């Protein structure tokens, strides 16, 4: 790969406790490689504050999201919207989320997930900020929430692992699709190989979702994924779509800037 080509990891959970001991090392390591920017995902109020504070220590390279993950939607209460808006005032917070629905695990009640998701859409519309979205086993209700709350800003369905029908629905809504190391897994990602080429290049984003979803090919002790391995996702996308890595790389980087409303 051309060393000048830059990568943008649109979703990394750098607040995760597995990064506590060597976070600075991890960040310096990717800055020295070709990963130019990372968006750190915030999963609840405290986590969003932590994500922001990490971003503030490397403001040239890091941005963050702010919101309450569907897993923690039971925590969404009367003061949550105000707290989210307050954190989002900081200029390194570039998206609202992650939010959405997860009926796979149902760590929070469906009712609370739906309420939290719709409120997040309202916040994003009010602040004119993009939405970082999560959907698992809840496509119908997810679309329903979108129909009701009507997002008016850029939306990405991050870590997309669904079907072609689901993907088509999101693309018809003008959403971006975020691909992770899921596609590098010959078992779990096989069904996606048939339709990844159908994503218009201008809607394609990539992410590691670190420390989760370590690309299968990477053989390391422990299973902690990190932003450095984003190139594995890029390589796999290039292989499936049969598009040259350098072109993909620069187009996806441009998409990422556009999605988060960033100037370079
Ligand atoms: Zn997620």
Cis peptide before 108 (omega within 30 of 0): no
27 belongs to a structural domain: yes
The DSSP string of 194-221 is GTGGGS-GGGEEE---TTS---TT---S
Quote the ligand 1 centre to 11 CA distance (angstroms): 9
Quote the ligand 1 centre to 150 CA distance (angstroms): 20
Give the pLDDT confidence of 209-222 residue by residue, as tens digits: 999 999 998 999 88
Averaged over 85-113, what is the pLDDT?
97
Question: Which residues does residue 136 pair with via DSSP β-bridges, in sequence order?
Answer: 102
Quote the ligand 1 centre to 2 CA distance (angstroms): 30
Residue 91 in this model has a pLDDT that exceeds 70: yes
Q: Quote the CA–CA distance of 183 and 236 in Å, as a whole number.
A: 7
**Number of domains the chain is built from:** 1
Give the chain's count of helices (H) and strands (E).
Answer: 8, 8
Residue 17 in this model has a pLDDT that exceeds 70: yes
Question: For residues 48 and 101, is the Cβ–Cβ distance under 8 A?
Answer: no
- Please tell me the predicted confidence (pLDDT) of residue 148: 98
2 belongs to a structural domain: no
Give the HSE-up count for residue 96: Cα atoms under 13 Å, Cβ half-sphere: 31
209 belongs to a structural domain: yes
Quote the ligand 1 centre to 98 CA distance (angstroms): 7
**pLDDT tier for residue 4 given thresholds of 50, 70 and 90:** low
Backbone angles phi, psi at 198, to 5 degrees: -80, -10
Question: For residues 74 and 109, is the Cβ–Cβ distance under 8 A?
Answer: yes
Quote the ligand 1 centre to 86 CA distance (angstroms): 23
Would you mind telling me the total number of residues written for the chain in this entry?
Answer: 264
Domain of 200: which CATH number?
3.20.20.140
Q: Quote the CA–CA distance of 127 and 216 in Å, as a whole number.
A: 38
Strand order in the sheet with 176-179: 7-12, 35-40, 62-66, 93-102, 131-136, 155-157, 176-179, 204-206
| Domain residue limits at 214 | 7-259
Average pLDDT of every residue of the chain = 95
Quote the ligand 1 centre to 103 CA distance (angstroms): 12
Nearest Cα residue to 108 out of 74, 148, 136: 74
Give the pLDDT confidence of 118-137 residue by residue, as tens digits: 999 999 999 999 999 999 99
Quote the ligand 1 centre to 124 CA distance (angstroms): 17
**pLDDT tier for residue 264 given thresholds of 50, 70 and 90:** confident
Give the pLDDT confidence of 127-180 residue by residue, as tens digits: 999 999 999 999 999 999 999 999 999 999 999 999 999 999 999 999 999 999
Structure tokens at 153: 């800003």
Quote the ligand 1 centre to 153 CA distance (angstroms): 19
Q: Quote the CA–CA distance of 121 and 66 in Å, as a whole number.
A: 12
Quote the ligand 1 centre to 70 CA distance (angstroms): 9
11 belongs to a structural domain: yes
Residue 11 in this model has a pLDDT that exceeds 60: yes
Quote the ligand 1 centre to 198 CA distance (angstroms): 22
Quote the ligand 1 centre to 45 CA distance (angstroms): 16
1 belongs to a structural domain: no
Quote the ligand 1 centre to 190 CA distance (angstroms): 20
- Please tell me the predicted confidence (pLDDT) of residue 35: 85
Quote the ligand 1 centre to 158 CA distance (angstroms): 6
Residue 3 in this model has a pLDDT that exceeds 60: no
- Please tell me the predicted confidence (pLDDT) of residue 221: 86
**pLDDT tier for residue 263 given thresholds of 50, 70 and 90:** confident
Q: Per-residue b/e over 245-259, b at no fewer than 16 CB within 10 Å? A: beebbeebbebbeeb
What sign for the dihedral angle of Cα 138, 141, 142, 143? Answer: positive
């Amino acid at each position: 790969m051309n060393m000048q080509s830059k990568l943008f990891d649109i979703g990394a959970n750098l607040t995760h406790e597995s990064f506590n001991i060597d976070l600075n090392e991890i960040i310096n390591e990717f800055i020295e490689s070709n990963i130019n920017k990372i968006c750190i995902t915030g999963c609840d109020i405290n986590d969003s504050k932590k994500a922001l504070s990490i971003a503030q220590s490397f403001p040239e390279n890091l941005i963050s999201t702010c919101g309450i993950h569907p897993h923690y939607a039971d925590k969404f209460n009367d003061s949550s919207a105000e707290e989210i808006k307050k954190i989002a005032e900081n200029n390194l917070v570039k998206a609202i989320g992650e939010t959405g629905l997860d009926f796979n695990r149902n760590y929070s009640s469906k009712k609370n997930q739906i309420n939290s998701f719709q409120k997040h859409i309202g916040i994003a519309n009010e602040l004119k900020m993009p939405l970082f979205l999560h959907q698992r086993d809840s496509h119908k209700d997810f679309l329903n929430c979108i129909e009701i709350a009507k997002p008016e800003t850029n939306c990405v369905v991050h870590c997309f692992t669904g079907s072609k029908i689901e993907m088509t629905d999101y693309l018809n809504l003008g959403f971006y699709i975020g691909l992770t190391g899921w596609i590098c897994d010959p078992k779990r990602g096989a069904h996606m190989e048939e339709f990844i080429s159908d994503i218009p290049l201008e809607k394609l984003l990539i992410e590691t979702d670190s420390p989760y979803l370590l690309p299968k090919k990477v053989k390391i002790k422990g299973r902690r994924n990190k932003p450095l391995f984003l190139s594995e996702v890029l390589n796999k996308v290039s292989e499936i779509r049969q598009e040259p890595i350098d072109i993909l790389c620069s187009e996806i980087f441009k998409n990422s800037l556009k999605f988060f409303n960033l100037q370079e």
